[in-house]
Amino acid sequence: MKKAFQLFAMISCCILLWGCPYTSDVPISKPIALDTRLTGKWEQKASDDNLFMVSKDGDEYKIEKKEKKSGNVTVYKAILSDVKGIKYLSIYENGGTPSYSLYKVEVSTGNNQVTLSGITENVQEKFTTSEELKAFIEKYQNLSFFFDKDVEVYVKK
C-alpha cells in the first residue's frame, strides 16, 4: 500500500510540475561514438526563431544556437550517451562550470527529424558520479512520467 501511495504521489507531482529538464552536475556517461545523423543545420519544428548548427568537436557535439532576429549566437556542447540501447544527450553551455540538461534523443527513420525528451525536473536526487546517474536513468527510463510531457522536435534544413 505504501508503494502504491508513493507512486500515486510521484505521478501527481509530475502532472502538476511539467517544465524544464532535470539538470545535473555530471553527464550521464563518458562520450560514446558520435552519431553523424545529428550533425547539420536544424530548426525547431514549432518555431523558426532560431537556427541550430550541430558539428563534431572532438568526442562531443558543438551546438551553435543562432537567434535569427538578433543574430546572437550561444554555443553549447553535448555528450552522447547510451543507456540500455536508448540514446541521451547531456547538454551544457560552453564555458564555465557545466550544468548538464539531460534529454533522450530519437532520430526519425529518414534522419531528417530529431525528437528530444527532457528528463523531468521533478527528479530530486543529486548525483556525484556519472555511474550513479546512469544507473538511476536505467532504473526509471521505462516509466512514462520520467520524461517531460512536452517534447522538442527539430527538422533538418
Give the integer Cα–Cα distance in Å for 104 and 79: 12
Whole-structure pTM over 0.95, yes or no?
no
- The pLDDT assigned to 151 comes to 94
* pLDDT tens by residue, 110-155: 989 999 999 999 999 999 999 999 999 999 999 989 999 999 999 9
- The pLDDT assigned to 37 comes to 96
- The pLDDT assigned to 50 comes to 95
* pLDDT tens by residue, 1-23: 444 334 333 333 333 333 478 99
Q: Which of the 8 DSSP states describes residue 119?
A: B
> pLDDT category, 46, cuts 50, 70, 90?
confident
* pLDDT tens by residue, 65-117: 999 999 999 999 999 999 999 999 999 999 878 899 999 999 998 989 999 99
Total structural domains within the chain: 1
* Residue 25 backbone zone (phi > 0: left; psi -120 to 50: alpha; other: beta): alpha
Give the integer Cα–Cα distance in Å for 93 and 72: 14
Q: What is the mean pLDDT of residues 40-54?
A: 94
Q: Per the structure block, which three cell numbers stand in for 100?
A: 548538464
Give the integer Cα–Cα distance in Å for 59 and 114: 20
What three-state secondary structure class fits 135? Answer: helix
For residue 42, the domain's CATH number is 2.40.128.570
Q: In a 10 Å sphere around its CB, with 0-12 CB exposed, 13-18 middle and 19+ buried, how is residue 20 labelled?
A: exposed
Domain limits for position 132? 2-156
